[in-house]
Amino acid sequence: MENVDGDESQPGREETGNLQNLLCGKKILVVDDNRVNRIVAAGALKKYGAHVECADSGKAAIAKLEPPHTFDACFMDIQMPEMDGFEATCNIRKLEEIAKESGKIWHVPILAMTADVIQATYDECVWCKMDGYVSQPIEEEQLYKAVSQVLSRT
């Protein structure tokens, strides 16, 4: 991944502080069928003060994100057995539409998590109305950019 200033070292203190400001106190759902990936993603988010809950499947994510819920954002693995992240996101968006029809606005930013960075995967994320895309393994700079984009809209 290209660093903006060309320096390949760790992100600066300012970016780390900004991540702390963005994530501190936010409630984030991490969805991944792989336990190690859940631990790594949750650890990266908790490092900056986020309150993290985890789910191990698309169906579990839908249950946790059914309106009303208190999550500020969701990091969703897109390759899971039984129900992938795309299908889970489409179902969550349908639930949000139903809530909207009854006069309640519910929208949780959903960021795809995947090691697959091909254009077709990105296009699928857009099609199912995901709000962002984070490649794995998650790096601090990438996490900052993704989180700042989705949380600045809320």
CATH number of the domain that residue 86 is part of: 3.40.50.2300
pLDDT recorded at residue 13: 57
Residue 63 burial (CB < 10 Å; 0-12/13-18/19+)?
exposed
Q: In the chain, how many domains are there?
A: 1
pLDDT tens, N- to C-terminus, the chain (154 residues): 222 233 334 455 555 667 788 899 999 999 999 999 999 999 989 999 999 999 999 999 999 999 999 999 999 999 999 999 999 999 999 999 999 999 988 899 999 998 887 888 989 999 999 999 898 888 878 887 888 888 877 6
43 lies in some domain: yes
1 lies in some domain: no
12 lies in some domain: no
18 lies in some domain: no
30 lies in some domain: yes
Q: Taking the CA of residue 45 as centre, how many other CA atoms within 13 Å lie in the half-sphere pointing to its CB?
A: 26
15 lies in some domain: no
Cis peptide before 68 (omega within 30 of 0): yes
124 lies in some domain: yes
Q: Name the residue range of residue 119's domain.
A: 23-151
- Structure-derived torsion over alpha carbons of residues 29, 76, 7, 20, reported in degrees to the nearest 10: -10
CA angle 110, 112, 116 (to 5 degrees): 170
User: How many CB atoms lie under 10 A from the CB of residue 103?
Assistant: 6
Whole-prediction pTM: 0.86
pLDDT recorded at residue 14: 58
pLDDT recorded at residue 94: 97
13 lies in some domain: no
Give first-to-last CA distance, the chain, whole Å.
27
pLDDT recorded at residue 16: 62
pLDDT recorded at residue 8: 39
C-alpha 30/C-alpha 98 separation (Å) is 24
pLDDT recorded at residue 6: 34
